[in-house]
């Protein structure tokens, strides 16, 4: 029996999760939000610092455990924003010292994929679409590999930027989805797939010009944005399924809350005899439970940092998914 605590702090969410033998006992989080404009990393870091103790004690209460019951402390090592990541790292070190328990450093993107297994996916291709990240990831030949990704903006940031331009606030995803549902006319937009990768900045410029020309209905622009960009995601995800021969598609990241994206994924999977897995919102967006979940798997395989080795651990703001040494899987 193992109990692992997981700390998530890569971007705007500070979360603490508790997992016992693969079961989520608690998943508490608080998200830094802004009225307008994007995330200010130092402000988000401050937010995490101010909230960490309370989120930690709430997580222990919900899990109904004592701090002495914790076997290891996992934290998000990267990728992410340095001021935010540092709060997680320092908190993990502080707890490790206090509780005399080891630290397990976890890659955020792989955690998104692994937590998907609680939905019963066994060996999926993951379409990971969040604010900062857009990647298609799957485990293959000893590593988690990136089969395709955005060459510039994350799809969530792309949607949020357009939402800001048209004045519907942050986060833009839900508002754009609502407007899109009222759109009827498809307006031609650039469709930018390069090999297995996608690019969004040219589409954003094109949308801006169309919006400023005042010739189009805003609902139609939102509808066309979703249809175009989601089709690009589906095309590359489908090719990753074909290439790997895998039969499961797993969604991860906040943009996967979009019901039109889910619908399009379902149609594509249906057409090629694959199965779609959509985790519940709690574990789809950034959260501490996914860090605890993967942390427990890594810990049980013998990955643990203690004492001087723990002191030497650092954040990895630009860590790439395929850079991670995967010694915990066989
Ligand atoms: P990461 O650090 O993994 O990149 P993040 O913190 O930037 O994550 P998430 O919390 O996973 O991102 O997701 C936030 C994004 O999801 C925002 O860009 C938001 O607009 C988008 N989003 C939320 N709901 C929807 C929706 N219904 N449709 C489209 N986008 C959505
Ligand atoms: Fe994320």
Give me the number of domains the chain comprises.
Answer: 2
Q: Is the pLDDT of residue 169 over 90?
A: no
| pLDDT tens digits along 82-98 | 999 999 999 999 999 99
Full-model pTM: 0.94
CATH number at residue 72: 3.30.420.40
User: 148 and 74, same structural domain?
Assistant: no
Tell me the pLDDT band of 39, cut-offs 50, 70 and 90: confident
* Beta bridge partners of residue 16, listed in sequence order: 7, 28
User: 308 and 190, same structural domain?
Assistant: no
User: 144 and 269, same structural domain?
Assistant: yes
| pLDDT tens digits along 257-302 | 999 999 999 999 999 999 999 999 999 999 999 999 999 999 999 9
Ligand 1 near 17 CB (within 6 A): no
Ligand 1 near 252 CB (within 6 A): no
User: 207 and 74, same structural domain?
Assistant: no
Q: Helix, strand, coil: what percent of the chain each, to 5?
A: 50, 20, 30
Sheet of strand 13-20, all strands in order from the earlier edge strand to the far edge: 23-31, 13-20, 3-8, 72-78, 103-107
Burial 267-286 (b: 16+ CB within 10 A, else e): ebbeeeebebbbbeeebbbb
Q: Is the pLDDT of residue 56 over 80?
A: yes
User: 143 and 199, same structural domain?
Assistant: yes
User: 306 and 273, same structural domain?
Assistant: no
Residues 293/22, Cβ–Cβ less than 8 Å: yes
What is the Cα–Cα distance from 172 to 284, expressed in whole angstroms? Answer: 17
Those residues with Cβ within 8 angstroms of residue 195's Cβ, 6 or more apart along the chain or in another chain: 148
Ligand 1 near 132 CB (within 6 A): yes
Ligand 1 near 12 CB (within 6 A): yes
User: 145 and 105, same structural domain?
Assistant: no
User: 272 and 288, same structural domain?
Assistant: no
What is the Cα–Cα distance from 152 to 232, expressed in whole angstroms? Answer: 14
Domain of residue 81 covers: 3-112+284-329
Q: Strand 23-31 and strand 143-149: pairing? A: unpaired
| Residue 95 CB neighbour total at 10 angstroms | 19
Phi–psi pair at 198, nearest 5 degrees: -125, 160
What is the Cα–Cα distance from 239 to 148, expressed in whole angstroms? Answer: 9
User: 70 and 167, same structural domain?
Assistant: no
User: 320 and 186, same structural domain?
Assistant: no
Best probe residue, ligand 1, of 33, 156, 318 (max atoms within 8 Å of C-beta): 156
Q: What percentage of the chain exceeds 70 in pLDDT?
A: 99
User: 153 and 12, same structural domain?
Assistant: no
Alpha carbon nearest to ligand 1 atom 5, residue: 131
User: 126 and 263, same structural domain?
Assistant: yes
């Amino acid at each position: 029996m193992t109990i692992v605590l997981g700390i998530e702090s890569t971007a705007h969410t500070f979360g603490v999760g508790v997992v016992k033998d693969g079961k989520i006992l608690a998943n508490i989080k608080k998200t830094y939000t802004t009225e307008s404009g994007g995330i200010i990393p130092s402000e988000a870091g401050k937010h995490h610092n101010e909230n960490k103790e309370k989120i930690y004690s709430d997580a222990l209460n919900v899990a109904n455990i004592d701090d002495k019951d914790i076997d290891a402390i996992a934290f998000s090592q990267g990728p992410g924003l340095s001021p935010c990541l540092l709060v997680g790292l320092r908190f993990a070190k502080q707890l490790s010292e206090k509780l005399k328990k080891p630290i397990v450093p976890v890659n955020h993107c792989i955690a998104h994929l692994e937590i998907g297994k609680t939905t019963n996916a066994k060996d999926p291709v993951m379409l990971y679409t969040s604010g900062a990240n857009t990647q298609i990831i799957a485990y293959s030949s000893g590593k988690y590999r990136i089969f395709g990704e955005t060459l510039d903006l994350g799809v969530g940031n792309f949607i949020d930027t357009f939402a800001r331009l048209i004045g519907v606030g942050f986060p833009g995803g839900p508002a754009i989805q609502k407007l899109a549902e009222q759109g009827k006319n498809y307006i031609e937009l650039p469709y930018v797939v390069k090999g297995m990768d996608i690019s969004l900045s040219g589409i954003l410029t094109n949308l801006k010009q169309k919006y400023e020309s005042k010739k189009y209905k805003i609902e139609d622009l939102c509808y066309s944005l979703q249809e175009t960009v989601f089709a690009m995601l589906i095309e590359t995800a489908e090719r990753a399924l074909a290439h790997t021969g895998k039969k499961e598609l797993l969604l991860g990241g906040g943009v996967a809350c979009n019901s039109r994206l889910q619908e399009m994924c379902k149609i594509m999977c249906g057409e090629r005899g694959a199965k779609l897995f959509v985790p519940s919102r709690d574990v789809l967006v950034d959260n501490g439970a996914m860090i605890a979940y993967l942390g427990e798997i890594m810990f049980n395989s013998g990955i643990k940092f203690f004492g001087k080795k723990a002191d030497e651990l650092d954040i990895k703001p630009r860590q790439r998914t395929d850079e991670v040494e995967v010694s915990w899987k066989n």
